């Protein structure tokens, strides 16, 4: 239990500090530190994580089952197979991490309320003037149905949770803690940047040009968020306003892809095209300008770097295996994963 607490402590501290700070900054606009919507959303995301983790377990079991077939009886040694593919402690830690991440990012809704009520100058014109030819091309091409791009766009969280599940499954503790903390940092950073440089997005700047979105889920959500921005819909803790720069979708996808590159470089043939498709979908669905994707990648890199530093510092304070203190702090990620996992 003590080592379990040590593993999640950096995430808890970052989440608490950012949530409390957002609550204090919002003042009378704050909806509080924790709501029922936050708790339910955290449970839903944790359930999805467990489904994806179960999928990975099933796939690995199928691949390894032949090694656990008794040659004499022909029966599968299910107990041995289970021990080979499942480590209960990792599942518990992974589930708690996902739950805490959602609770931590929910506190960002208080900053969203500050953004909603204080943003009076918008910089969409500058970005639209820069990218108008691109959007005219997108509008004229109509190459693929909106449903295709929506499927890509809304599968972003599936990809991120799948990477988290893979990191948990392979016991890469430092890496999934870094990704978890980076996700939290990215949510708050997005809102802070939006407060300094408010950009609503193409759909809100020239809605008349995106008629092909009529009847789509994206159009419905954009209208709903527009009503929230206007104060017609009450904040429930899950609404993140009409902020386009930087693209959080692209940032989260890029961060997950960087972790794929660290541990499974051969899988980049799928991860990089997926990141590009996510980026394109944000433009086709008029949520973002193309440059928002570049800003998202830059922000994601900063968040990953900060998260890695936080995890290194926290692990450097505690002993883990044979490496202690500053030695652990500067150890390679793979070594830190292995030694820290042994303590869970």
pLDDT score at 4: 67
Question: What pLDDT does 324 receive?
Answer: 44
The sign one gets for the Cα dihedral 64, 70, 74, 78 is negative
Strand partners, 323: 320
The pTM of this model reads 0.89
Q: Report the SS3 class of residue 323.
A: strand
pLDDT (0 to 100) of residue 64: 81
Q: Mark 79-92 as b/e (b = at least 16 C-beta within 10 Å).
A: eebeeebebeebbe
Do residues 236 and 229 lie in contact, with contact meaning Cβ atoms separated by under 8 Å? no
In the DSSP assignment, the letter for residue 320 is B
Looking at residue 8, what is its pLDDT?
84
219, two tokens: 């159009």
Query: Where on the phi/psi map is residue 148: left (φ > 0), alpha (ψ -120 to 50), or beta?
Result: alpha
Q: Which residues of the chain have pLDDT under 50?
A: 318-330, 343
The total of other beta-carbon atoms located within 10 Å of residue 144's CB is 12
Q: Interhelix angle for 173-196 vs 2-26, to 10°?
A: 0
In this structure, is the dihedral angle defined by the CA atoms of residues 51, 53, 57 and 59, taken in order, positive or negative?
A: positive
Distance CA 254, CA 256 (A): 5
Quote the pLDDT of residue 331: 52
3-state secondary structure of 223: helix
Q: What is the pLDDT of residue 60?
A: 86
Residue count of the chain: 344
């Amino acid at each position: 239990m003590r080592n379990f607490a040590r593993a999640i402590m950096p995430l808890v501290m970052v989440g608490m500090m950012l949530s409390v700070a957002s609550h204090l900054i919002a003042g009378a606009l704050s909806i509080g530190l924790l709501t029922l919507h936050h708790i339910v959303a955290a449970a839903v995301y944790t359930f999805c994580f467990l489904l994806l983790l179960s999928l990975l377990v099933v796939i690995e079991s199928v691949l390894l089952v032949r090694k656990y077939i008794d040659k004499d009886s022909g029966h599968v040694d299910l107990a041995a197979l289970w021990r080979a593919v499942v480590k209960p402690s990792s599942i518990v830690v992974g589930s708690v991490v996902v739950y805490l991440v959602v609770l931590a990012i929910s506190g960002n809704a208080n900053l969203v309320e500050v953004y909603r009520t204080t943003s009076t100058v918008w910089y969409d014109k500058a970005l639209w003037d820069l990218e108008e030819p691109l959007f005219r091309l997108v509008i004229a091409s109509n190459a693929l149905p909106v449903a295709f791009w929506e499927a890509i766009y809304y599968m972003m969280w599936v990809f991120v949770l799948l990477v988290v599940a893979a990191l948990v499954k392979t016991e890469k503790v430092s890496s999934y803690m870094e990704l978890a903390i980076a996700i939290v940092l990215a949510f708050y950073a997005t809102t802070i940047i939006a407060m300094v440089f408010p950009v609503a997005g193409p759909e809100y700047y020239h809605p008349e040009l995106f008629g092909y979105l009529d009847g789509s889920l994206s159009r419905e959500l954009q209208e709903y968020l527009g009503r929230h921005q206007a104060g017609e819909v009450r904040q429930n803790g899950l609404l993140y306003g009409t902020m386009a720069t930087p693209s959080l979708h692209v940032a989260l996808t890029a961060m997950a892809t960087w972790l794929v590159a660290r541990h499974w470089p051969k899988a980049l043939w799928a991860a990089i095209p997926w990141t590009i498709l996510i980026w394109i979908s944000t433009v086709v669905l008029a949520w973002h300008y193309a440059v928002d994707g570049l800003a998202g990648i830059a922000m994601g890199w900063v968040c990953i770097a900060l998260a890695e530093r936080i995890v290194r510092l926290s692990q450097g304070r505690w002993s883990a295996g044979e490496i202690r203190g500053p030695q652990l702090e500067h150890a390679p990620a793979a070594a830190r994963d292995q030694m820290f996992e042994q303590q869970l």
